[in-house]
Structure 1
Amino acid sequence: MPWILLPNGTYQRPLGDSEYALFSASHSGNGDMFLHLSLRASANCFSRERVGIAWALIRRENPLLMSRVTIVNDEPTLYFAPPRELIQDAQATLMFNHKSKEELITAYMDGARPLSNDILSLLTISESATGEYQIFMCAPHFCGDGTTLHVSTHELIRLVTSSQTNEQLMQKLHQPVEWIEVLPPSLEERLRIPGSQFAQAACKINYLQALNKEFASHVLPRLQRAEKCTGFIEREFSLEKTASILAKCKAHGVTVNHVLTALATIAWARCTSQPFDLPMMLYTAASLRGHLIPHHPTTSDTFLALAYFTISLPAFPPSGTTGVWHRARLAKKQMQNAVRSPLLPARAVLSAASRARRITNPPPTSLPTLSLPGRPEHSKALMGISLIGDLDRTYRRHEYGPDVQLLSVGTASRLKPGGFLLLGHSFGKKLVLQLCWDKMGFVDGEIERFWTQVASEVDEISS
Structure 2
Amino acid sequence: MPWHQQGRVFHRVLGDSEFALFAPSQTGVGDMFLHLSLRAPAHYFAPERVTLAWALIRKRNPLLMSRVVLVEGETRFSFTPPTHLTQDAASSLEFTRQPKQTLISSYMDGPRPLSDDVLSRLTISEHPEGEYQVFMCSPHFCGDGTTLHVCTHELLRLVSSTKTNDELRLDLQSPANWIDILPTSLEERLLVPRSRLSRAAFQVNYLQALSKELGGHTLPRIQRAEMQTAFEEVEFSQETTANILAKCKANGVTINHALVALSTIAWARCTDQSLELPIMLYTAANLRANLVPSHPDCSDTFLALAYFTISLPAFPPPGTGGVWHRARLAKTQMQNAVRSPLLPARALLSAASRARRPAPTSSHSLTFTPAPPSSELALRGRPEHSAALMGISLIGNLDRTYLRHEYGRDVELLSVGTASRLKPGGLLLLGHTFGKKLVLQLCWDTMGFAEGAIERFWAGLESAVDEFLVQA
TM range (shorter): over 0.9
**What's the CA shift for 1:357?**
1.5
Please name the residue that 1:383 is paired with: 390
Three-state SS of the structure 1 residue aligned to 2:34 is: strand
Q: CA RMSD in A?
A: 1.5
Q: Distance in 1 between matches of 2:273 and 2:129?
A: 47
Q: Distance in 2 between matches of 1:234 and 1:285?
A: 21
Which letter does structure 2 place at the counterpart of 1:421?
L
Residue 442 of structure 2 is aligned to residue 411 of structure 1: no
Please name the residue that 1:141 is paired with: 140
Please name the residue that 2:339 is paired with: 340
Q: Distance in 2 between matches of 1:359 and 1:214?
A: 23
Decide which of 401, 407, 413 is 1:394's aligned counterpart: 401
1:127-175 deviation per Cα after TM superposition (whole angstroms, max 9, x unaligned)? 0134210000000011110111000000000000111111111111011
Please name the residue that 1:2 is paired with: 2
Please name the residue that 2:268 is paired with: 269
**What's the CA shift for 1:368?**
5.7
Three-state SS of the structure 2 residue aligned to 1:24 is: helix
Q: Distance in 2 between matches of 1:237 and 1:295?
A: 40
Please name the residue that 1:373 is paired with: 378
* 1:258–1:328 Cα contact (<8 Å) kept: yes
**What's the CA shift for 1:317?**
1.0
**What's the CA shift for 1:297?**
4.2
Which letter does structure 2 place at the counterpart of 1:4?
H
Which letter does structure 2 place at the counterpart of 1:173?
L
| Unaligned residue ranges in structure 1 (runs of 5+) | none
* 1:356–1:363 Cα contact (<8 Å) kept: no
Please name the residue that 2:293 is paired with: 294
* 2:214–2:387 Cα contact (<8 Å) kept: yes
Three-state SS of the structure 2 residue aligned to 1:102 is: helix
**What's the CA shift for 1:363?**
8.9
* 2:93–2:122 Cα contact (<8 Å) kept: yes
Greater mean deviation of Cα atoms: 116-125 or 438-447:
438-447
Q: Distance in 1 between matches of 2:453 and 2:375?
A: 42
Which letter does structure 1 place at the counterpart of 2:470?
S
Which letter does structure 2 place at the counterpart of 1:415?
L
Please name the residue that 1:179 is paired with: 178
* 2:355–2:370 Cα contact (<8 Å) kept: no
Which letter does structure 1 place at the counterpart of 2:356?
R
Tell me the TM-score normalised to structure 1 length: 0.98
Which letter does structure 2 place at the counterpart of 1:262?
A
Please name the residue that 2:241 is paired with: 242
Q: Distance in 2 between matches of 1:13 and 1:83?
A: 18
* 1:52–1:94 Cα contact (<8 Å) kept: yes
* Change beyond 3 A, Cα 1:350–1:181: same
Tell me the TM-score normalised to structure 2 length: 0.96
For 1:79-94, what aligned pairs fall within 5 Å after superposition? 79-94=78-93
**What's the CA shift for 1:195?**
1.7
Please name the residue that 2:149 is paired with: 150
Three-state SS of the structure 2 residue aligned to 1:109 is: helix
Q: Distance in 2 between matches of 1:394 and 1:358?
A: 35
1:377-433 deviation per Cα after TM superposition (whole angstroms, max 9, x unaligned)? 321001100000000000000000010000000000000000000000000000000
Q: Distance in 2 between matches of 1:365 and 1:438?
A: 29
Which letter does structure 2 place at the counterpart of 1:2?
P
* 1:280–1:315 Cα contact (<8 Å) kept: yes
For 1:311-460, what aligned pairs fall within 5 Å after superposition? 311-359=310-358, 367=372, 369-374=374-379, 375-460=382-467
Which letter does structure 1 place at the counterpart of 2:242?
A
Which letter does structure 2 place at the counterpart of 1:367?
P
Please name the residue that 2:14 is paired with: 15
1:37-65 deviation per Cα after TM superposition (whole angstroms, max 9, x unaligned)? 00000000000000000000000000000
Which letter does structure 2 place at the counterpart of 1:3?
W
| Unaligned residue ranges in structure 2 (runs of 5+) | 360-366
For 1:57-96, what aligned pairs fall within 5 Å after superposition? 57-96=56-95
Between the two proteins, the alignment pairs up a number of residues equal to 462
Please name the residue that 2:362 is paired with: none
Three-state SS of the structure 1 residue aligned to 2:37 is: strand
Which letter does structure 2 place at the counterpart of 1:445?
G
1:306-350 deviation per Cα after TM superposition (whole angstroms, max 9, x unaligned)? 000000000111121111100000000000000001111110000
**What's the CA shift for 1:298?**
4.3
Which letter does structure 1 place at the counterpart of 2:466?
D
Q: Distance in 2 between matches of 1:155 and 1:333?
A: 35
**What's the CA shift for 1:449?**
1.0
1:161-195 deviation per Cα after TM superposition (whole angstroms, max 9, x unaligned)? 11111111111101100000100001100101112
* Change beyond 3 A, Cα 1:406–1:354: same
Q: Distance in 2 between matches of 1:391 and 1:34?
A: 16
Three-state SS of the structure 2 residue aligned to 1:286 is: strand
* Change beyond 3 A, Cα 1:298–1:184: farther
**What's the CA shift for 1:369?**
4.4
Name the % identity.
67
